[in-house]
Structure 1
Amino acid sequence: MAIPAPSIVRGYSGEKCPESFNIARYCLARGAASMPDKTALIVVADAEAPLAQAECWTYGELDEAVRRVAAGLLAEGFRPGERIMIRMPNTSDYALMFFGALAAGIVPLPSSSQLTPAEADFLLSDSASSAVALAPGMSMATSHIRTFDADMVSRLRQHEPLDGYATTSANDPAFLVYTSGTSGRPKGVLHAHRSAWGRRPMYRGWYGMEESDVMLHAGAFNWTYTLGVGLTDPWANGATTVLYNGDKDVQVWPKLMEKTGATLFAAVPTLYRQILKYCDLAAHDLSALRHGLTAGEALSPALLAHWREATGKELYEALGMSECSTYISTGPGMEIREGSPGKPQPGRCVAVLPVEGGEEPLRAGETGLLAVHRSDPGLMLGYWRRPDEEAEVYRGEWFIGGDLASFDADGYMWYHGRADDLMNAMGYRVSPQEVEAALAVHPDIQEVAVTEIRVRSDVSIIAAFVVPTEASEPDAASIMKWAEEKLAAYKCPREVIFVESLPRTANGKVMRRALSSS
């Protein structure tokens, strides 16, 4: 329903979420009851080793372990509604902590293992988390916080399992994720338990997911793309999910597709591009793969054509955001129109609104701000303690994420960029102000502006435009090293460009768009 007529009642038209709803129960209870011995999770640490050596969990085992962790957390004194930060790589412990917290009514905060201790400490402080689950080798800037290590997670699993799952309502807080804020500071996006129900339009509208599927996802758990596509949705459909937590070598992905018999593979376009460039796909048996899924970045027509030629498989694209996950996509049985991420998924109410204001959707062919109706069950509860930023994204009955778009006469969406300065780095939204703040204190930098620049027709990178201090010798390597010490890897500029001055408006505001086009 991309462009509703005035006579049509606007709003989400999919099946209504039950009033009593818990994500962990929704994902695990049915599988544990109807097919307890079916494999739900495979964790691979070595892509070269036989699959029999991988860590495997059945639905029955996973359901019991999650309820044990939930019981352990409650026994440790945590109360429903409290936040627990998770700072781990893609391991079964991460999954057990995340779903165990949900099963107990506790609110997990999945975070990136790439964050520096200072960045992680900001999330910990801003969220007012009661504890943090840490993997070996990871640390926090603050020491005055309760921590869970791998041994502690193991001890939690020794508790007698809860008899069922916490009785939570659909609108109760479920989990908290952080994304870039307009102020330059990361902001928390608080999701309700109904968010998992809000993913149901993706089952047919993007994946074509079946109980027999084996999902291999290449992302990290701090991202809703991975949590949803890699864990929540396969388990809600009784499918098998595969995680990889070994060395990050692009060569492992076709090996894993073959070894695990993956029927679905999910990644960002950049990884598909690397696979095509560095891997010999003809040397691997990918016959089980039905199609690939991609989100986070725009899928270029050239990449789609290259993947089709190399594999004979389709790539189905989706567009989404942390506040609502994906809501526009292509899927099996749909025509793929190169350059478009597809149509609103079944049941979604999506429109394009005038940039200058108003709630009446624009007509086909007109460009405006992409908006999702606030009745969508996948939409966030709100921004954590950021009422000012929350007020900016709602316009009456619509949520506006900042993307410029138009719909054609057949309902396909066409992307026209961002209305703000947020950048896209490997699928993560990154605020230029956050990167600028980290670089601005470098002793050799007088001024700095950060923006995306396009290096190829289908590839863009984060670049820092630097006005050096008068007494310094321009040294890009020093600035890059400084960034690596203060920012997660995906936030760091890939290029430093020295300039004499920064372009500004008459009011003194830096014109980042002028830099990106220079």
Structure 2
Amino acid sequence: MLSIFDQGPPPPCPAPFNLAAHVLRHAERLADKTALSVLHDTRTDDWSYARLRQAILGTATGLLETGLKPGDLVLMRLGNTVEFPVAYLGAIAAGIVPVPTSSQLTEPETARMIAELNPAAVLRDADVACAPHPKQIGTEALNAMHDLPPSDFAMGDPDRLAYAVYTSGTSGKPRAVAHAHRAIWARQMMVDGWYGLTEDDRLCHAGAFNWTYTLGTGLMDPWTIGATALIPAPGTDIDRLPDLLARHHATIFAAAPGVYRKLLQGRDRLDLPALRHGLCAGEKLARALHEQWSRATGSELYEAFGMSECSTFISSSPAHPARGDALGQPQPGRRVAILGPDGPVPQGEPGTIAVHRSDPGLMLGYLNAPDEAAARMQGDWFLTGDQGAMAIDGQVTYLGRDDDMMNAGGYRVSPVEVEAVLARYPGIDQAGAAAVEVKPDTFVIAAFYSGPRELDETALRAYVEANLARYKQPRAFVHLPALPTGGNGKLLRRALPAYFKGPSR
């Protein structure tokens, strides 16, 4: 049997359609219900669905009154405040195309974006770095728009451009990924395929308002369902999260693996009586961390795999838990395959994870780089650039990025497999693996790890010898105070070899 998951397509996206209208579809029915609570130590800033809808549609009116037109691009340079999602959805409601960006970007980085996109305006917090642009709309002006008469939703073709988001750039130059309004319709497949989310849930996301993971999983998806979103106030220390989760009766918690790792440091038990389960995405979740969380809380973690070009489409869920080290399975409604050079590979064999071009969540393309999008297609399949293997039951095991795969002694080895073994060793908080050059054209696998102290190398060698085939075993072990990560918290495997001080150096 070939590695193809296909249980039928999702229901078609209705037309006419507007992404923001879909997110707010329950807002009038649930007008008095709390849509958002910003959690401070001693208080909350609560937004009802009525207040949220008014602010978003008032912003839509205000943006149009500045002279912006449907189809115009606006670059978002806003901080970690509720103004970010309000402005984002306000723009989309009006048919304007927002491009959310990380507040950590520098002025030169934003200059390149402005040159590439030629946005009609920049939505700007004065405290956030940004290159010059002739039309900047500040936060004071944006806040004043909240009380304007509400705009109508700009309805239209669900395939038209709704927003763009930049890739992390970990596999090359960051690209602006163009998404259609139908992208929010596709996210319904995550509700049962990952979240297990209901209208009665209180979902807390640990990330910032201006992070796309928070924007989707932490805000838009709960609002689409009619649930309550909980977001810790900007500047909240991670150590405060367990208390906030318990005090505000969070039923679902979402974060990147690094947050779960920090929450468990020095703790054997977390008392979270209302918590049903946690959600994890952003990088591969180590099995040891998953098990540690389950012991400490009595609740499960459900992991998801996705990318800027298609959000998350493979996941575990309460209805379909992952088996062993697998990620989970493609969400119902998705069509996913594992491809080799000649098409889908037999079940169990490694290949490139691919999603079918018909997926409603798949991007429209890269702005100003159509050839790059075309180059990532293999027939009807979009190549993710990530390696995986699909079992007979559809469960997918993640094997790492194509360009992260290690070659030592002629064997291709997944760093994820090596890291999963290392992560189970006592005293290792986080592990990374990479091929390093020990002499010209000779590469070996090196293990990099963080933890309270450097570990005995003889014991580490004995451990990996007992748990990994010889060609997969690290030949060097490097202790670091912390492993290198990008702005989104993902491990930067490409940066690891620079920390190796081997004989060739």
TM-score, normalising length: structure 1? 0.78
Match of 1:39 among 19, 23, 34: 34
Contact 2:322 2:329 in 1 (8 A): no
Counterpart in the other structure of 1:71? 61
Contact 1:254 1:281 in 2 (8 A): no
Please give the alpha-carbon distance, in whole angstroms, between the structure 2 residues aligned to 1:134 and 1:338: 46
Counterpart in the other structure of 1:363? 346
Please give the alpha-carbon distance, in whole angstroms, between the structure 1 residues aligned to 2:146 and 2:90: 10
TM-score, normalising length: structure 2? 0.80
Match of 2:382 among 395, 399, 402: 399
- Counterpart of 1:172, as a letter, is R
Counterpart in the other structure of 2:102? 112
- Counterpart of 2:422, as a letter, is S
User: Residues 294-313 of structure 1 correspond to what in structure 2 (within 5 A)?
Assistant: 294-313=280-299
Offset at residue 498 of structure 1 (A): 7.1
Please give the alpha-carbon distance, in whole angstroms, between the structure 2 residues aligned to 1:464 and 1:175: 38
1:330-377 alpha-carbon deviations (Å, 9 max, x no partner): 1113233131110010011001111x2x34x22211111111011000
Please give the alpha-carbon distance, in whole angstroms, between the structure 2 residues aligned to 1:225 and 1:119: 21
Please give the alpha-carbon distance, in whole angstroms, between the structure 2 residues aligned to 1:245 and 1:465: 42
Change (3 A) 1:15 1:501: farther
Counterpart in the other structure of 1:159? 148
Aligned length: 441
Offset at residue 169 of structure 1 (A): 1.6
RMSD over equivalenced CA pairs, Å: 3.1
Change (3 A) 1:125 1:90: same
Bigger mean CA deviation after superposition, 377-386 or 241-250: 241-250
Bigger mean CA deviation after superposition, 492-501 or 405-414: 492-501
Bigger mean CA deviation after superposition, 78-87 or 344-353: 78-87
Offset at residue 155 of structure 1 (A): 2.2
Please give the alpha-carbon distance, in whole angstroms, between the structure 2 residues aligned to 1:181 and 1:270: 20
Counterpart in the other structure of 2:450? none
Please give the alpha-carbon distance, in whole angstroms, between the structure 1 residues aligned to 2:323 and 2:339: 23
Asked if 1:146 corresponds to 2:123, the answer is no
Counterpart in the other structure of 2:330? 344
Match of 1:291 among 264, 268, 277: 277
- Counterpart of 2:324, as a letter, is E
Please give the alpha-carbon distance, in whole angstroms, between the structure 2 residues aligned to 1:335 and 1:93: 36
Please give the alpha-carbon distance, in whole angstroms, between the structure 1 residues aligned to 2:113 and 2:242: 35
Please give the alpha-carbon distance, in whole angstroms, between the structure 1 residues aligned to 2:355 and 2:419: 29
Please give the alpha-carbon distance, in whole angstroms, between the structure 1 residues aligned to 2:287 and 2:297: 15
1:120-169 alpha-carbon deviations (Å, 9 max, x no partner): 222233222222222242221x323322222111222242111x311132
Secondary structure of residue in 2 paired with 1:154: helix
User: Residues 58-137 of structure 1 correspond to what in structure 2 (within 5 A)?
Assistant: 58-137=48-127
Offset at residue 391 of structure 1 (A): 1.8
Please give the alpha-carbon distance, in whole angstroms, between the structure 1 residues aligned to 2:70 and 2:198: 33
Contact 1:2 1:344 in 2 (8 A): no
Secondary structure of residue in 1 paired with 2:254: strand
Contact 1:17 1:197 in 2 (8 A): yes
Please give the alpha-carbon distance, in whole angstroms, between the structure 2 residues aligned to 1:97 and 1:167: 18
Offset at residue 400 of structure 1 (A): 0.7
Match of 1:22 among 18, 21, 42: 18
Please give the alpha-carbon distance, in whole angstroms, between the structure 1 residues aligned to 2:209 and 2:376: 26
Match of 1:217 among 200, 205, 212: 205
Change (3 A) 1:276 1:183: closer
Contact 1:73 1:101 in 2 (8 A): yes
Bigger mean CA deviation after superposition, 98-107 or 31-40: 31-40
Offset at residue 200 of structure 1 (A): 0.9
Match of 2:233 among 239, 242, 245: 245
Offset at residue 191 of structure 1 (A): 0.6
- Counterpart of 1:497, as a letter, is Y
Match of 1:326 among 312, 315, 331: 312
1:221-276 alpha-carbon deviations (Å, 9 max, x no partner): 45432221111110110001012233252212112211221111001111111101
Contact 1:115 1:488 in 2 (8 A): no
Please give the alpha-carbon distance, in whole angstroms, between the structure 2 residues aligned to 1:160 and 1:252: 39
Gaps of 5+ in 1: 424-450, 467-483, 504-518
1:253-311 alpha-carbon deviations (Å, 9 max, x no partner): 112211221111001111111101145744x4x11110000011111221111111100
Counterpart in the other structure of 2:358? 375
Change (3 A) 1:179 1:500: same
Offset at residue 81 of structure 1 (A): 1.1
Please give the alpha-carbon distance, in whole angstroms, between the structure 2 residues aligned to 1:489 and 1:241: 21
Counterpart in the other structure of 2:476? none
Please give the alpha-carbon distance, in whole angstroms, between the structure 2 residues aligned to 1:375 and 1:276: 41
Offset at residue 454 of structure 1 (A): 6.1
